[in-house]
Structure 1
Amino acid sequence: MSTTLEDITSKLWAMANELRGNMDASEYKNYILAFMFYRYLSEHQMEYLEKNDVLDIRDGQTIDEAYAEQAVGEDMSDYLEDISAYLGYAIEPQDTWASLIGKIDGNRIVPSDYQAIFDDFEKYASLNKEAARDFRGVFSDVNLGDSRLGANTNDRAKSLNRIVKLIDGVEFRDEHGRDVLGGIYEYLIGMFAANAGKKGGEFYTPHEVSQVLARLVTNGVSADDGTFSVYDPACGSGSLLLTVQDELPGGERPGIVKFFGQELNTTGLRTFSWRLNERILCSVKRSVVVPWSCISPLI
């Protein structure tokens, strides 16, 4: 089966468009992007646990199974504190992406599980005082009670299950084994913006417009000029800021660009944070999400 970025994104968009029903694209994106972000955070945590030998994994045992087996009782708080200290957030065993998929496949999911997952995430993210503000309200745009998801709580849970299974079925690597998650996210943002009409402009600047502006602000800059700072007072999903980095001579060097932005919409901030991390450009002290000193809410 072909797994080019184009194949992956077109299939994902077709399925997402079919699932959203009568929901506006600018609203449905909150569910798709939020669960993609949650999957990313969960799998990133599992990679941390495995690569750092935090768990004793038996032959034939998955990292998620080992985590669920060992992070129990009083030991669980120790694991969560360790994870939060390193990543800035922590997800307990029953809330991992693999656990969520297992509940759905085993018909063990209950409507309250989704709210519990997001509540637990925010609670455990507060263990790291330095990073607590980074994650506060990061999933607040996800309206789990929206009647367009279903007439009652059970129907809404089924709709959320379908979204989660859609995200779980996405292959984040192409046929050559390259990570294409950033490309998938970029594609979805553009498609949601195009289908949202005027509302799309709230979170996405067309790439062509971003390129023109980026070339203007980087005109005359040389690769030897040192650190370059760029600020967008309404940064949305960060398309313009990231394009400045693309156009900047020597901009591919880690830490050469300092991003500053403000945004009222937390979905936009979540998106920008993720995209920055995918590029590994903003110096974040042992954290997966860019600190609010770089990106802050518009208050």
Structure 2
Amino acid sequence: MITSGEIKSRLWDGATELRGSMDASRYKDYMLGLMFYKFLSDKTLETFRNTAGLGRISESELVEEYTQNREELGEELDKMIQQALGYFVAPEYLYQKWIKDINTGDFEVQKVTDSLNNFEKTIAVTGDSDDFKGLFSSSTLDLTDTALGSNLNERNKSIKALINLFADLDMVALQKSDVLGDAYEYLIGQFAMESGKKAGEFYTPRQVSEIMAQIAAKNSNIQSIYDPTVGSGSLLLTVGKHLSKEVQKDLSYYGQEKNTATYNLTRMNLLLHGVRPEKMTVRNADTLSHDWPEDPSQANVGVQFDAVVITHHTHSRIGIKLA
């Protein structure tokens, strides 16, 4: 299997080559968004494999089996996968279908747009559905953006190159070995360095995160942690890593983020690190004007958290100074 160092080097070299003159803070949304969609597709296929009791077969054979079974079982299969994951990716919208179309010369950017739009329709109607809604909204992943190319042919070329960057990566296996989450965090950090001042919108430097995490983790009985300006979610995850494995299993992550693109990045980052949907609650809101909602079981009482961590970079943009 590819090592953590190899995947980090490969992905960042690819990002540097492919993004051209596009601002790093903007290109990250496309790269990390499509990387996450590959993860969703791979999780769907793995869940189908387990549900169908299939052994080790090639990915192309697995896609074919999934397609045939869905034709036969329809909504019954959809619901089985949806119940396990909270969503499903239909065979015709799999990341693997994009790759096949690229290889056969049938690829069109519109097919990617259709796939991302369709994902919204496959989310289970549960209390955790907000963890997936709007992840690929056009406000953050606009595939008609001229920054990807001045015309349709150039945009097709840019998106194809980005899709191929993740084509042979088994995201499920990489997640199980913690390589995927590490690589995602690495890319976020690299994009932050490239973005300069804009990095404050989504990234807390690792050294700062480590110090804050060590302080917060001194309380070994933490069951919930909240970041009012959550950014990419890296600070929450760093605190989690400093807790025991047993505590991590039941740790609940809470966060608020004003910027919609960064809010989407937060949810993707937590899910890629194996945080279960029922253990994460992230809101797209401005903490200064909309504080965390009251405890639904106690009127006029705010929700209580075992630990709260925050960096103040967002306040400086609106003229608030912290002593």
Name the TM-score class by shorter chain: 0.7 to 0.9
Partner of 1:71: helix, strand, or coil? helix
Structure 1 equivalent of residue 115 of structure 2: 117
Q: Indicate yes or no: 2:6 matched with 1:7.
A: yes
Once the two structures are TM-superposed, the CA of residue 237 in structure 1 deviates from its matched residue by 1.1
Deviation at 1:180, TM superposition (A): 1.1
After superposition, where does 1:49-198 map in structure 2 within 5 Å?
49-53=48-52, 62-72=61-71, 75-125=73-123, 127-140=124-137, 141-170=140-169, 178-198=177-197
Extract unaligned runs of 5+ from structure 2: 287-323
The letter of the residue matching 1:128 is V
Shift in Å, 1:154: 2.9
Q: What amino acid maps onto 2:262 in structure 1?
A: G
Corresponding residue of 1:23: 22
Structure-2 residue corresponding to 1:241: 236
Q: Quote the offset at 1:274 in angstroms.
A: 3.9
Determine which of 244, 262, 269 is the counterpart of 1:268.
262
Contact 2:131–2:267, Cα closer than 8 Å, also in 1: no
% of aligned pairs identical?
A: 34
Paired AA for residue 80 in structure 1: D
How many Å separate the matches in 1 of 2:91 and 2:58? 20
- Structure 1 window deviating more from structure 2 (147-156 vs 188-197): it is 147-156
The alpha carbon displacement at 1:278 in A equals 4.5
* Contact 1:90/1:121 (<8 A) preserved: yes
1:231, 1:259 within 8 Å by CA — same for their partners in 2? Answer: yes
**Per-residue Cα deviation, 1:161-218 (whole angstroms, up to 9, x for no partner):** 11100122446568xx945111111110100000001111111100101122223333
Structure 2 distance, partners of 1:96, 1:60, is 12
Aligned-pair distance for 1:235? 0.5
Judged with a 3 Å threshold, the aligned counterparts in structure 2 of structure 1 residues 136 and 58 are, in CA distance, closer, same or farther, namely closer
SS at match of 2:96: helix
Amino acid at match of 2:230: C
Cα contact 2:224–2:254 (8 A) shared by 1: yes
Aligned to 2:315: none
* 2:24/2:195 contact within 8 Å kept: yes
Greater Cα shift, 97-106 or 256-265: 256-265
Tell me whether 61-70 or 28-37 shows the greater mean CA deviation: 61-70
Q: Name the CA shift for 1:54/1:121 in 2 (closer, same or farther; >3 Å).
A: farther
Q: How big is each residue's C-alpha offset from its partner over 1:248-299, in whole Å with a ceiling of 9 and x where there is no partner?
A: 4x365343432211113344344433443454455x45xxxx55xx222216
Deviations 1:207-253 (A, max 9, x none): 1011222233334x2x4xx34322111101111111222334x3653
Note closer, same or farther for the CA distance 1:149–1:60 as it changes in structure 2 (3 Å cut).
closer
**Counterpart in the other structure of 1:202:** 201
Q: Paired residue for 2:43?
A: 44
Alpha-carbon distance in 2 for matches of 1:243, 1:16: 25
Q: 1:231 aligns with which of 187, 206, 226?
A: 226
Contact persistence 1:56–1:66 (CA under 8 A)? no
Partner of 2:320: none
1:113-136 CA distances to partner (integer Å, 9 max, x unpaired)?
A: 1110011111122x4343432222
Q: Match of 2:253?
A: 259
Q: Which moved more, 1:257-266 or 1:9-18?
A: 257-266
Runs of 4+ in structure 1 off by over 6 angstroms are 54-61
Contact 2:41 2:95 in 1 (8 A): yes
Report the Cα distance in structure 1 between the residues aligned to 2:170 and 2:59, rounded to whole angstroms: 23
| Whole-angstrom CA distance in 1 between matches of 2:55 and 2:216 | 51
1:193/1:68 CA distance change after superposition, 3 Å: same
Question: What do you get for the CA RMSD once the two structures are aligned?
Answer: 2.8
Structure 1 residues 260 and 46: CA distance shift in structure 2, 3 A? same
Amino acid at match of 1:119: N
